[in-house]
Chain A
Amino acid sequence: QVQLEQSGSEVKKPGASVKVSCRASGYTFTNYGISWVRQAPGQGLEWMGWISPYTGKTNYAQSVRDRVTMTTETSTSTAYMELRSLRSDDTAVYYCARVSLLHFDVWGQGSLVTVSS
């Protein structure tokens, strides 16, 4: 079945970087976009950006544009989201989601990133 499997929890210090992975299975990876969404503790969903695995083209939300890089590795059907210069307010669960005709139809299980000194 169609699945997105994310990497595990991470604890990082302020100023560090984190790279979260999202491995796709059960479908042709290059046929769908991958979007990243985060959710701070007790808060709502925040869209961070998306990438086309076919073209490599990306679009980022203004709030993270200067600190985020989204990439894909088509040989392993894996998407990555790297966030730099981490701050305490980056503590959140990070989700990847498959983009199908402009809706997010399959989600990963989430990866908790904790930023703490």
Chain B
Amino acid sequence: DIQMTQSPSSLSASVGDRVTITCQASQDIRKSLNWYQQKPGKAPELLIFDASNLEAGVTSRFTGRGSGTDFTLTISNLQPEDVATYYCQQYDNLPLFTFGPGTKVDI
């Protein structure tokens, strides 16, 4: 099975900062990676699909990059509404999906 890791597990930054979260797969997953944002007490929401494609309606302050085993999610100009936990998810090993452990972002 493909294992997903994320780093850091949590971070604290200031409003206006640029923040980067890393997601690593245990084997090559090409670009088969999605990113989700989960705000406290809410359901997750899709941010990025296929490693780098911004979901409709999501602010362009979010950028996804990477392929193979190493991926990043960057939040530019961090805002208070970005406080959330961010999860990566692989789908290369169909029909199975796997989430990363999450990265909690605080301000």
Contact A45-B43, Cβ < 8 Å, known A59-B95, A103-B34: no
Interface digits, A23-61 against B, CB 8 Å rule (1 contact, 0 not)?
000000000000101000000111100100000000101
Residues of B within 8 A of A47 (CB): 89, 96-99
Give the residue name and chain of the B residue nearest to A35 (CB).
B97
State the CA gap A17–B106 with chains docked (Å): 38
State the CA gap A37–B50 with chains docked (Å): 20
State the CA gap A101–B34 with chains docked (Å): 11
Q: Do B96 and A61 touch (CB < 8 A)?
A: yes
Q: Do A59 and B36 touch (CB < 8 A)?
A: no
Q: Classify chain B: how many residues form its interface, as a range.
A: 20 to 34
State the CA gap A46–B102 with chains docked (Å): 11
Q: Classify chain A: how many residues form its interface, as a range.
A: 20 to 34
Residues of A within 8 A of B17 (CB): none
Give the residue name and chain of the A residue nearest to B6 (CB).
A44
Q: Do B46 and A105 touch (CB < 8 A)?
A: yes
Residues of A within 8 A of B101 (CB): 44
* Residue from B1, B43, B44, B50 whose CB has the most chain A CB atoms within 10 Å: B43
Q: Do B95 and A109 touch (CB < 8 A)?
A: no
- Residues 61-95 (chain B) with a chain A CB within 8 angstroms: 85, 87, 89, 91, 94-95
Binding site for B on A (CB under 8 A): 35, 37, 44-47, 50, 59, 61-62, 95, 97, 101-105, 107-110
Binding site for A on B (CB under 8 A): 1, 32, 34, 36, 38, 43-46, 49-50, 55, 85, 87, 89, 91, 94-102
